[in-house]
Chains A and B, each alone.
Chain A
C-alpha cells in the first residue's frame, strides 16, 4: 500500500502544524491522535522531532544553568576572581552566530515553500557561518593564551574556557546535524511519511540552532558584563 504524495495540501498542513485537533498534537488528552489522511492511527508527525529537540534543549539548559550557578558561587567564594578583558573577536563571534540564525531561518522557510534548492543553499551558508563561529572562538582562545591567560590562571578564565568549549561542542553537534540534513534530506521524499520526517528534521534542527544562538548571547552577556 504505497502512499504517494498526491494530496500536497494535506502534507502542507501537517507540516505547518494544522488545526490542533488534527494530526500530531501529542499533548492531546484523548490519545495522541495522528489520524492522517488515510485514517492510519500512528503516522509520524513532526511533533515527535519537536518534542525531542525541546527535551534536549531542556537538558542542555540545565547543564549551563549548573555551570552558571557554579560561576556565580565561585565568583563570591574566593578573593581571586580576576575578570579579564574579553578578546574583541568575540563580538565577531556574536555577529556570525546571529546572522547564521537568520540564514537558518531563510533556509527553513524555503523548505516550507518547497524550494529545495534554496533550502540547500542557505543550509550550506549556515554551516559555513557555524564553522566560522568556531574559528573565531579558536582565535579568541589563542589570543588569551598569548596573553598568558590559561585555563587554570584564575577562576574567571577557567569558566571562560569552559563555557565557550561547552557551547562550541554543542554547536559542533548542531553543525553535524545540519550536515546530515545537507547530505541526506535535501531531496524531496517520495512518501508522506518521508516528507514529514524531512521537514520535521529541518524544523527541529532550526529550533536547536536558534537555541545555540540564544545560549551564546546569554553566555556573552554573562562573561562580558556580569563579572
Chain B
C-alpha cells in the first residue's frame, strides 16, 4: 500500500478501475451502498415469500401454476404443500432478520455515514470493512444455495452426496424449522421429516458465515467511533445516529459469537454424531435413535436467544437513531433531552442482554428464572418510553416540514409505540400462558422489527439519498409510498392482535382444523388484501430509488438545511469525505432555532463567535453541548 504522507489518516488514494472502485472497494461509502443493495435484494425475496404465505392461509388448496412449475415436488399441481409453507416461514424470517434488518441499518447507512458524521476519512480498518461485506454476501449466497438444494431435485441430489444429513430436494424453498431452528427438530436430520436435511446444514453454515461478517463490522464501528472522531467531536456532540450505531455494534460484538457457538454445536450434532442438544431415548418417525444421548434441547434455546434478544435491538436501534436525527432536522428544533436519549439507547442495549428468557417462559426452564426475566423485560419498557416522550417533546413547539423522510420518521414513532406497547402483555409470565406462540407475538415483533425498523430505514434513505447520489428522490412518489405503506402496515398487523386473542397459533400452514379459529377467517382475508397492496406499493419506492439515481433533480450540498458534518461536504462526498479539509466541530448536532442566529439552523462546524445563543434561549439543564465547550 502506498505510504501516503501529507494526509496521514488517509492511507489509500482514490482507486482506479471498475473492480477496485465498485466491487472490491475499500471506501466505506461504496461498501455502505453494497450493503443497502444486498438488503434491497433480500427484502424483495422476503416480501414475495410473505405474500405466498398469506395467499396459502387465505385460500388453502388453491392452485398457483407458477409454483407448480418452479417447485413440482413442493407444490405439486401448483398447490403448496405444508412443508413448502413452513419453508417459506423459515426463509422469510431468516432473510428479513439477518439479511435485511442486520445489514441495511448498520452495515448500510452506518458504514456510509458514521465516518462522515464524526469527521473521519474512512473507517478504522478499510480492508476489514470490505471483507465484512463480502463475507456477508457469501453468507447470502450460501442461503440461496439452501433454497436451491431443497427446491431443485437435481441440485438436491448433488448436495446429498455430501452426507446423510445433507439429503435435499424435497421441493420446498429451504429448511422448515423456523428462523429459530429449535432442536431436536433441526438437529435430528432428515429422519425428523422433510426439510430437515441439506437445507438445514446450509442454513446453519450461512448463518455462521453471517456471524463472522457481522463481527468484523462491529469491530470496525467501535474502533472508528472511539478513535477517529475529529477535533471538537466529543462523544456528547455526536449525532444520535452515531450513538445508535455504536451501541448496536457493541451488541453485535457480544451476541453474534454466541449464535456462532450454537450454530457450530448444532452442525456437529447433525453431521458428526455429537449430542449437545439431542437427548437419549428418542423415537422418531417409527425408529429409535440410539446414537444420541444426554443432550439438552433447552441449551439451544438459551444460546439462540442470548443472541436473539440483542439481535432485535440491533435491528431497531439504528432506526431509532435515524428517527431522532430526521425528526430534529425537519422539526427545526433540537432533539428534546439529548442526554436522556443517549442514556436510553445505552440502557436498551445493555438491558437487552438480560431478558432473553422471555422467549422461553413455558419452555420447561426454571419457573423462578422466568419470574426474573419477566420483571427485567418490563423494565426495558422504561427507556423505550423515555425515547418516545422525547420524540414527542421534540415535535412540541416545532415548525414541522413534512418532507418524505419526516413522514417516515413520524411513522416510526407511531409504529414503535404500537408495537412496543404490547411488550407489556407478552413480557408477563401469567399472560404468556395464553399468548406464547400465537399471532399476538407475531403482531408485536412485526410492528417493531418488520415495520418500525423499516420505516427508520425509509426515513434514512429519503434523507440521505441526496448526499449519497447527488440527486433528490421524487417527493410525490415518496409521499405516495409513505401513505399507502403507513396505512397498509397498520391494516396488516393490528388485526394480527385479534387473531392472537382468539388463540391462533404461529407457524400453522392452515387454520381449518380448529373450530376455535372459525372467526378468524375474515381477519385472515382482510390482512392478505392489505398485504398484497402494501407489498405492491413498494414498487414505487424501488422505481423512485433507482430512477432518481440517474434522473432525479440535482441536489445541493445541504438540501434539507441540516446541521451535521455530512452536510458540510460535497454532494456526493469525495473519496476522502472532506477533500483534505478536516472539519473542526464547535457545537452539538441539533442546533436548530438558535435565538439570534442568522438562520434557523447552525452547523456543527460553525464557530461560536458567530452567534450569541449560549446565554439566551436555552432553558434546560439538559444541554446537548450546543454551547462552547
A residues with a Cβ closer than 8 A to B are: 1-3, 26-27, 29-33, 35-36, 40-45, 47-48, 51-52, 55-56, 58-60, 62-63, 65-67, 69-70, 73-74, 77-81, 151-152, 155, 158, 162, 166, 189-194
Which residues on A sit within 8 Å (CB–CB) of B295? 74, 77-78, 155
Other-chain contact of A59, B7, B219, B220 (Cβ < 8 Å): B219
Q: Are B3 and A41 in contact (CB under 8 A)?
A: no
A4: nearest residue on chain B (CB-CB)?
A: B5
Query: CB within 8 Å of A: which of B110-149?
Result: 120-121, 124-125
Query: CB within 8 Å of A: which of B200-224?
Result: 215, 218-220, 222-223
Query: CB within 8 Å of A: which of B573-601?
Result: 582, 584-585
Other-chain contact of A52, B223, B254, B293, B299 (Cβ < 8 Å): B223
| B515: Cβ under 8 A from any A Cβ | no
Cα–Cα distance between A42 and B227 once the two chains are bound (Å): 10
Other-chain contact of A40, B8, B265, B274 (Cβ < 8 Å): B8
Q: Are A152 and B274 in contact (CB under 8 A)?
A: yes
Q: Are A31 and B223 in contact (CB under 8 A)?
A: no
Which residues on A sit within 8 Å (CB–CB) of B222? 51, 55
Residue of A31, A58, A151 most packed against chain B (CB within 10 A): A31
Q: A191-B3, A193-B4, A194-B3 are in contact. Are A32 and B226 (CB under 8 A)?
A: yes
Q: Are A31 and B257 in contact (CB under 8 A)?
A: no
- Expressed in whole angstroms, the minimum distance between the Cβ of B130 and any Cβ of chain A is 15
Q: Are A2 and B5 in contact (CB under 8 A)?
A: yes
Q: A158-B274, A162-B264 are in contact. Are A31 and B6 (CB under 8 A)?
A: no
Q: Are A58 and B253 in contact (CB under 8 A)?
A: yes
Q: A42-B120, A158-B274 are in contact. Are A60 and B8 (CB under 8 A)?
A: no
Cα–Cα distance between A53 and B255 once the two chains are bound (Å): 17
**Given pairs A26-B228, A55-B253, A80-B280, 7 additional interface contacts (CB within 8 A):** A32-B230, A52-B124, A55-B223, A67-B261, A74-B295, A77-B296, A193-B11
Cα–Cα distance between A14 and B578 once the two chains are bound (Å): 26
Which residues on B sit within 8 Å (CB–CB) of A155? 274-276, 294-295
Q: Are A41 and B584 in contact (CB under 8 A)?
A: yes
Other-chain contact of B228, A42, A73, A79, A158 (Cβ < 8 Å): A42
Cα–Cα distance between A31 and B275 once the two chains are bound (Å): 51
Cα–Cα distance between A74 and B228 once the two chains are bound (Å): 44
Which residues on A sit within 8 Å (CB–CB) of B232? 30-31
| B541: Cβ under 8 A from any A Cβ | no
Which residues on A sit within 8 Å (CB–CB) of B274? 151-152, 155, 158
Other-chain contact of B229, A32, A44, A190 (Cβ < 8 Å): A32
A36: nearest residue on chain B (CB-CB)?
A: B8
Cα–Cα distance between A24 and B264 once the two chains are bound (Å): 39
Which residues on B sit within 8 Å (CB–CB) of A43? 8-9
- Expressed in whole angstroms, the minimum distance between the Cβ of B438 and any Cβ of chain A is 29
Q: Are A42 and B276 in contact (CB under 8 A)?
A: no
| B13: Cβ under 8 A from any A Cβ | no
Q: Are B233 and A77 in contact (CB under 8 A)?
A: no
Which residues on A sit within 8 Å (CB–CB) of B584? 41
Which residues on B sit within 8 Å (CB–CB) of A60? 257
Task: Report, nearest first, the 8 A-B pairs whose CB atoms are least far apart.
Answer: A78-B294, A42-B9, A152-B273, A66-B261, A26-B227, A63-B257, A77-B296, A62-B257
Q: Are A44 and B268 in contact (CB under 8 A)?
A: no
* Binary A-proximity of B273-296 (CB < 8 A = 1, otherwise 0): 111100110000000000101111
Which residues on B sit within 8 Å (CB–CB) of A55? 218-219, 222-223, 253
Q: Are A190 and B3 in contact (CB under 8 A)?
A: yes
Q: Are A70 and B276 in contact (CB under 8 A)?
A: yes
Q: Are B293 and A70 in contact (CB under 8 A)?
A: no
Q: Are A81 and B260 in contact (CB under 8 A)?
A: no
Q: Are A41 and B231 in contact (CB under 8 A)?
A: yes
Cα–Cα distance between A94 and B435 once the two chains are bound (Å): 52
Q: Are A52 and B258 in contact (CB under 8 A)?
A: no
| B272: Cβ under 8 A from any A Cβ | yes
Which residues on A sit within 8 Å (CB–CB) of B268? 151, 158, 162
Cα–Cα distance between A8 and B504 once the two chains are bound (Å): 73
| B256: Cβ under 8 A from any A Cβ | yes
Which residues on B sit within 8 Å (CB–CB) of A191? 3, 5, 8
Which residues on A sit within 8 Å (CB–CB) of B294? 74, 77-81, 155
A157: nearest residue on chain B (CB-CB)?
A: B274
Cα–Cα distance between A66 and B294 once the two chains are bound (Å): 19
| B431: Cβ under 8 A from any A Cβ | no
